Amino acid sequence: MSIPVLPLTLVSSVERRLATSVAEARSPFTGTSQIQDWGASWWEYQIDMAVTQGANARRLSAFFTALGGLRGRFLFPDPSIEVPIAVGNPYVTEAEPAGALVLQTAGWGLGLRAGDFFQLGSDTTTRLYQLTEDVTALGSEATLAFVPPLRTAVQVGTPIGLDAPSVLLRLTGPVPTVIGRADQHRFTISAREAL
């Protein structure tokens, strides 16, 4: 069973944020804070779809209905992510355990900059990462510093996806269909990374 992909031609705006499992306990007497970091983080999205009509509206409604609410997952190749040009075919050169925040890689042409995104895995193992430092290749090798931490161990030879990096999402609630005059449908999606 393949994972469905959200139709990008109908996306009008995207709000993306990296959520973390950090809690603050503040003293009511001194105002000092104690921060508790549980180490988990994930992507959250709010996606507004373009106003659609007729067959396109029904097709989009069917896409969300087929997800089955919180059960279903879908891939979202975030259209706000700029795809770098001529960066080579990078891959992982050293295995890294879950929780790592750096990867040793090779196969680079040009480097990437802090803020660029890449993907590891595919289908149900798709994970989206954002670089926290510029990548300067030494020859064809480079070290990547990124967030969030690796969810699973990464093996030598794992390709680094730079062409339309995607994130695997799960709805956080039902997708309401607002139907206006002249059969105009509006959809707003709230979703988080499916872990």
Sorted by where each starts, the structural domains of the chain and their CATH numbers stand as: 1-78+169-195 (2.40.30), 81-165 (2.40.30.290)
pLDDT score for 2: 84
pTM for the model stands at 0.84
Beta carbons within 10 angstroms of residue 106's beta carbon:
18
pLDDT score for 53: 86
Place of tokens 């997952």: 73
From first to last of the 195 residues of the chain, give the pLDDT tens digit.
Answer: 589 998 877 888 999 999 988 888 888 888 888 888 777 899 999 999 888 888 888 888 889 888 888 888 999 999 888 877 767 789 999 999 999 999 999 988 777 889 999 999 999 999 999 999 988 888 888 899 999 999 899 999 999 998 889 999 999 988 877 787 888 888 899 999 998
User: What is the DSSP pairing of strand 117-120 with strand 102-108?
Assistant: unpaired
Helix (H) or strand (E) holding 59: helix 54-67
Residue 125's Cβ-count burial label (10 Å; 0-12, 13-18, 19+) is: exposed
Phi and psi at residue 70, to the nearest 5°: -70, -15
- Order across the sheet with 127-131: list the strands: 88-92, 102-108, 141-147, 127-131, 117-120
